[in-house]
A and B are shown apart, each in its own frame.
Chain A
Amino acid sequence: MKIKRLLALLMAFGLVASACGSSDSSDGGGDDNETSATTEAMEEEETATTEPEATEAGEVMDDIVVDFGVTDDVIKVGLNPDLSGPFGSLVSEIVEGQTVYWETVNANGGIAGRQVEMTILDSGYATDKGIENYGVLAQESEDGVVIISENTGSPITAAIAEDAIDDDMLVIPLSWASLWPDPEIGANILEKGATYCVEAMNGVSFLNDLVTEAGDTPKLAIISRPGEYGEDGHVGAEIAAEALGIEVVYNAKGEVAGDDRTAIVSQLLASDANMVWVTLTPGETADIFGNAVAGGMTAQWSGNLPSFNYLFHLGGDLAPAFDEYYWQSGFNLPWNVGDSEGMGEMVEAFNELRPDIALADGYVTGWMEGMIVQTILEQAAANGDMTRAGMVAASKEVVVDFKGISPNQGWAGDYNESVVRETYIFDVSLDAFDIQPVSAGTGGTGLPVHKGPFVSDVARDYVFDGPCI
C-alpha cells in the first residue's frame, strides 16, 4: 500500500507535468545558473572616479551626470536572459550577438570614452528567478546597471514592468506582446519591432493576397495557444479577417492545450480552409501542420514568429511540406540576408571575432539590441545625463537606425505613434537551409525575403485604443 500512496502523490505531479508539457512558456527549467560575464576588454577594469561633484541626480563625471551603472570609464548593461530554460538555445545566440556587438564597440573606443560591460544573470525562464535577477541588476549601488538590454519572455517582462517604471530602468524585452507600447504598462519597456498583433494583421493580409491571386475565395483558419502570446496573435488575425471580409471557417482561439491535437486537426481538415494563421510553439505547429498536410490539406500557412523554428522544422521529416506550404513571418532580416550596411557590419564582426561558430538568426536579434542601447547611451551622453532617468529621457528622443536590418524605430508618442507596423514575410526554402560556420560566408537559415518590410492596409489604417488584448 505504500506504493499506492506514493503513486497517488505522483499522479498529481503527473497531471501537472502533462498540463505543463505542451507549454513552451510554462516550463521553467529553473536552473540557478548565474553567469556574470564581461566583455573581454573589460575583464581587468576597475572603477576610477575623477573627483565627482555630488548633485541631486548623482555624480558628475566628465561633465556627464551619472548615478548607477556608469562610472568614468565603465558602462554596465544588464541582461536577464533564459540561458538554461526552454528558450536557452535561442537566447544564447542572442546573448552571443550582443556580446560580439559590445566587443566591436569597445574595440572602437566604447561610448563616451567608456567601455561597455555586460552583467548576465540567467533566469531559466522562471519568473521568480527573473524577478530576483531584476532586483540585482536594478540595485542602487555600484553593482547595478544603467539599462537592461535583454529580458527574455513576456511573463518576466510583465512581472518587472511596474518596477522598471519606479526604478527609471529601461528594459529591452524578448517579447512582442502588444502590451508594451502602452505607456501605462510598458513606459520603460522598449519593444523592438512590431507586435504579435500587428504581425498577424500583416500576415493574414499577405495570405489573403496569395489566395486571391490564385483565384480562390479566401477561407481562413486561425489557431492559437492559450495565454497572452496566443491571444495577441489571434486577435490580430481576427482584426485582419474582419477588415478584409475574409470568412473565418475555423476559429480555435486558445484551444491548443494538452498534447493531443486530434480534434484540432479533424476540425481544421473539415473546415476546408485554404489559409491558416497560427500562434503556437514550434512543436505545436509541427504537430498540427504535419497531421493536416498528411490528411490532404493544401492550404497556405503562416504564423507569428515563434511558431516556426528553422532548425526544428527544416531539419525534420516535415521540411518538404514546410517548404511548400509555410511562409514565415518576422520582424527583421535573418542572418546574412540582403546587402544592407548593418548586415554587412554584423557579418564582418562575426567573421573577425567568432569565425568558427555556426550561423544563426539569433545573432541578429542580439546585434539589434546592442544598436538600440548604443543609440540611447550616445544620446544620453550628448544630453550630459547618463543616469537611469537620463536613459529614459534619451529613449524618447531617439530613432534607432538599424541600417537596413529592420525598419528604424523610435519610442516617442502615444500607442499609435510608437507601434511599429512593418514586418517581413520569408519564403521558407529548403534549398536555402544550410547551416555553415560563419567564416564560410555561405549557407543560410532557409528564409529568403519574399516581401518586406511592408505594412498591410489593415495594419496601416488600424487605430489602436490600447493593446490588442
Chain B
Amino acid sequence: MGDLLLLAQDSSGFFPIFLQTLVKGLALGSIYAIMGIGFVIVFKGTQVLNFASGGMAMAGALFMSIMINDGGLPFMPWSNPLAPAAGTDPSIPRWLINLFFALIFAAIMGMILERVAIRPMVGQPLFSMAVITLGLETAIGPFNRDATSQAARTLGVPWKLEQWKLFDAGIPKSYVAAMIAAAVCFGAVNFFFRSRFGVAMRAVAFDQEAAQAQGINVGRVFSIAWGLGAALVTVAAIFYGMGPFPPQGTVSQEIHPILAFRVLPVIILGGLDSIPGALYGGLMIASAEVFAGQYLSQWTKILGAGYSTIVPYLVMLIVLLVRPYGLFGTEEIRRV
C-alpha cells in the first residue's frame, strides 16, 4: 500500500458514519468558507461579484503544482530552490513555504487582472463589471485546461490520504488541515480589516467618493482586494484538491472549475458583504450537502442520488425567503 495509511477497518456502523459525515461536512464547509471569504473581500473592496474566482482558484492551485512538481516558478525562468527533489515528497514545512509563494503568485495574478480588466471599468454599471469577470473566467479556462491536460497535476500533499481513527471513524488529515486553513484565513482576514488598509477598504466599500476625498487611494484598495481575493480562493482550491476530496490530490480539470459556482449559495446565504456570513454559510451549506448526499439518497433512493447538488440551493432559497439580504448581509435601506 506504500504511503497509504489504512486505519478505518470497521467504519460501517451508524455512529462512525455519522461522525465521518459530520467531519466531512465541516471540512467541506471550511473550503466553502475560505472561497466565500475570497468572494466577499472582492465585493467589499470593489462592489464587484467576481465570477472569475473559479478560474483564478484553479490557476493558483496550478502555480502550487508547478512549484512542487516542475522545479520552476510560474512564468519565471528560474528554478524553485524550495522544490522537493524529483521523486520525493515535500516535508510539511517545505510544502507550506511553497504554498506561501504560490499564494503570492496568485495574489499578483489577481492584482494584474484587476488592473487590466476591472480598473478601466470603474464608474461603469456593476452589471457590466460582473460580466467582465465572467469573461475573465472564460479567458483563464484555456490556460487551466492546457496546463492540466490528461495528466495528474499533483499538489504534493505531504500527508496524502493518511487519516486518524476516532471512535472507529476514519478522520482524514486533509479534512483537519482544511479546518485549520479556514480558521487561519478567518483570523487573518479579521486582523486585516482592523489594519489601516482594512479600514480603508471598508471606507471605500461604504462610499468610494467620500473615501477618495479623505485621501484614500481607491485604486490601491481595489488592487489589494483582488490580490487578497485571489490568494484566498487559491487556498480553497489547494485544500479542496487534497484527497479524499474528489480531486484526490490533484488539480482537476473536471472538478476545480465549478468550485466557485458551488460556493455562490454560501455567500448569498451568509450575506454578500459579511465575512462571518461566509464562514457560517459555508459550514451550513456544506453540512446540508454532505448529509443529504449520505442519508437522503439512501432513504429515498427512488428519487435518485443527486440530492447533494440540489440541497445547497434549496437551503439558500428557504433562507432568502426569510432574510432577503442573507443571514449576515447589510440590509439595503432606501428612501421612498
**A→B interface (CB under 8 Å):** 1-4, 6-7, 10-11, 13-15, 17-19, 21-22, 24, 27, 86, 88-90, 252, 255-264, 266-267, 269-270, 281, 283, 286-287, 290-291, 293-296, 309, 311-321, 323-324
**Contact between chains at B305 and A294 (CB < 8 Å):** no
Chain B residues within an 8 Å CB radius of A266: 12, 17, 294
Given A258-B306, A313-B152, residue A263 in contact with residue B294 (CB < 8 A): yes
Q: Which of A19, A286, A312, A323 contacts B150 (CB 8 A)?
A: A312
The B129-182 residues at the A interface (CB cut-off 8 A) are 130, 145, 149-152, 154, 157, 160-161, 163, 170, 172
- What number of residue pairs across chains A and B have CB atoms under 8 A from each other? 180
> Could you say which residues of chain A place their CB within 8 Å of the CB of B253?
86
- Alpha-carbon gap, A32 to B3, bound state (A): 44
Contact of A262 among B11, B152, B308 (CB under 8 A): B308
5 tightest A-B CB contacts, nearest first: A320-B2, A260-B308, A317-B249, A315-B152, A21-B258
Contact B254 A320 (CB under 8 A): no
Are the CB atoms of A18 and B161 closer together than 8 Å?
no
Chain B contacts to A: CB under 8 angstroms: 1-4, 6-12, 17, 21, 24, 49, 51, 126-127, 130, 145, 149-152, 154, 157, 160-161, 163, 170, 172, 243-244, 246-250, 252-255, 257-258, 261-262, 264-265, 268, 272, 289-290, 293-295, 297-298, 304-310, 313, 316, 324, 332
Chain A to chain B contacts (Cβ below 8 Å), 29 pairs: A3-B49, A3-B126, A11-B265, A11-B268, A11-B316, A18-B262, A21-B257, A21-B258, A22-B254, A90-B150, A258-B308, A259-B262, A261-B293, A262-B293, A263-B294, A281-B254, A287-B244, A290-B243, A294-B4, A294-B170, A294-B244, A296-B7, A296-B8, A315-B152, A316-B249, A317-B243, A317-B249, A318-B161, A320-B1
Across the interface, do A263 and B298 meet the contact criterion of CB distance under 8 Å? yes
Q: Is the CB of B305 within 8 A of A258?
A: yes
Known pairs A3-B126, A21-B254, A266-B17; list 7 more (Cβ under 8 Å).
A88-B145, A90-B150, A252-B305, A257-B309, A295-B8, A317-B154, A320-B4
* Chain A residues positioned under 8 Å from B332 (CB to CB): 1
| Cα distance A255–B249 in the bound complex, in angstroms | 24
Contact yes or no, B308 A10, CB < 8 A? no
A7 and B264 in contact (CB under 8 A), knowing A257-B304, A263-B297? yes
The answer to whether B1 touches A262, judged by C-beta atoms less than 8 angstroms apart, is no
* Among A15, A260, A290, residue most surrounded by chain B Cβ atoms (within 10 Å): A260
**Nearest CB of chain A from residue B55's CB, rounded to whole Å:** 12
Q: Which residues of A contact B21 (CB under 8 A)?
A: 262
* B127 proximity list for chain A (CB < 8 A): 2, 6
- Nearest residue (CB) in A for B246 is A287
